[in-house]
A and B are shown apart, each in its own frame.
Chain A
Amino acid sequence: MSQPTAPSSPSRGRVVVAVLAVLAAAVLAGVSPADAVQGELVRIMYVHVPAAWLAYLAFVVTLVGSVGYLVTRRFVFDRLAEASAEVGVYFTGLAIALGMIWAKPTWGVWWTWDARLTLTAIMFFVYLGYLALRRATAEPAVRARRAAVLGILGVVQIPLVHFSVVWWRTLHQPPTLIKPDKPSIEGTMLMALLAGIAAFTVVYGLLVARRMELARLEADLAAAEASLDRPVAGSAVTAPELGEAR
């Protein structure tokens, strides 16, 4: 059992960097031009695309943590996989919500069952299942092993989600950035989009670091509680007083 250690606070420098990155991205998203077709609605892209990108990144990091745990059996990898999956589920949900807000005024509907939207929803629920699996298993080593298997299998969905718009005919438009041709977006708008992606990624890094720290403290707490002096079973039973019977 490792000796419990005090929680470390996040370095002030990292928080300052995150705040500056978010502010810079917000300014760029505000000053970039309106789109020829969509007008001001295009600005939703500067948060929707970064959120979707982080979903991909987070689940790839969960894959790395899962493989790392199975190879080394060190719990720090399990904590990385768990923290990244939790943050990833949050950003997947955010990408879906922002996408719906973007879809209603542009496409005309909040939601439709095209391949991209359907596969994204499935990915969201599979990783919710990953988090549920973790809560359903109490023993740390068993939990880490089962979660690692799902953390590895789940990553198959990322190429399915990303290339669904290329492989099948969908309502969702194909990728603007990650595709064989050069990005089909004007320079200032590209800057705003990349700044958004960078800012979201910095925030993701902070969240994962904090969540890993919390997971370590939880593990220490569980270990400390397990080793406490507990009343022995049966100690509440008192010997019967039989009186003066002879």
Chain B
Amino acid sequence: MRRYAKFLVGAGILVAVLGVLIVNLNDNLVYFQTPTEVVERPAGDARLRLGGQVVPDSVERTATETSFLVTDGRVAVPVRHVGAPPDLFQPGIGVVVEGSWDGETFRSDTMLVKHDENYSPEDPERPFTSP
């Protein structure tokens, strides 16, 4: 019986540690903030990750920068990304940009594309360039 008691104590400690970790790390487990959240919580000069969909028709490219709006369906944040975006970057796709506020614009130096979990063949009516 002692063996099972020891096992239960060990399992209990493990579950407790996991629980504490998950509750305390909850903010860190969130990989990015939504446009609504970043507008509500002023971050000053702190670096943060902003994630959402690229608003179609908002993308403007120059030689070194890409400007576009990132939205969560409620709020749209203007983003100015310095550097080349990933190959899959396109209007309407999900992105996570990393950087900080530059006035009213979010200035990003790192961009990741967040594709969704839906898979469908290429639409024959929409020309697609293979990445």
Chain A residues packing against B (C-beta within 8 Å): 33-42, 45, 105-109, 112, 114-115, 149, 153, 156, 164, 167-171, 173-176, 184-186, 188-189
Say whether B119 contacts A170, CB under 8 Å.
Answer: no
* Cβ-based interface call for B104 (8 A): no
* Contact partner, B117, options A107, A114, A174, Cβ 8 Å: A174
Give min CB distance, B119 to chain A, whole Å.
4
B43 an interface residue at 8 Å Cβ cutoff?
no
| CB of B113 closer than 8 Å to a CB of A | yes
| B interface with A by C-beta (< 8 Å) | 7, 10-11, 14-15, 18, 26, 29-32, 51, 85-88, 90, 93, 96, 111-123, 126, 128, 130-131
Give the nearest-CB partner of A184 in chain B: B118
Interchain CB contact under 8 A, B112 and A171? yes
Interchain CA distance A169-B93 in the complex, whole Å: 16
A interface, by DSSP: helix, strand, loop or mixed?
Answer: loop
Whether A33 touches B122, Cβ cut-off 8 Å, given contacts A107-B112, A171-B96, A184-B117, is yes
Contact B128 A39 (CB under 8 A): yes
Contact B114 A36 (CB under 8 A): no
| Complex contacts, A188 vs chain B, CB 8 Å | 121
**Complex CA–CA separation, A34 to B30 (angstroms):** 31
- Interface CB pairs A-B, < 8 A, 26: A35-B120, A35-B122, A37-B93, A38-B131, A39-B122, A39-B128, A106-B88, A107-B86, A107-B114, A107-B115, A115-B29, A149-B7, A149-B10, A164-B29, A167-B29, A168-B30, A169-B31, A170-B31, A171-B31, A171-B32, A171-B114, A175-B117, A176-B119, A185-B120, A186-B119, A189-B121
Report chain B residues within 8 Å CB of A42: 119
Q: Tell me the complex Cα distance, A115–B26, Å.
A: 10
From known contacts A36-B128, A107-B86, A149-B10, infer whether A185 and B121 are also in contact, taking CB-CB under 8 Å: no
Q: For B93, what are the chain A residues with a Cβ–Cβ distance below 8 Å?
A: 37
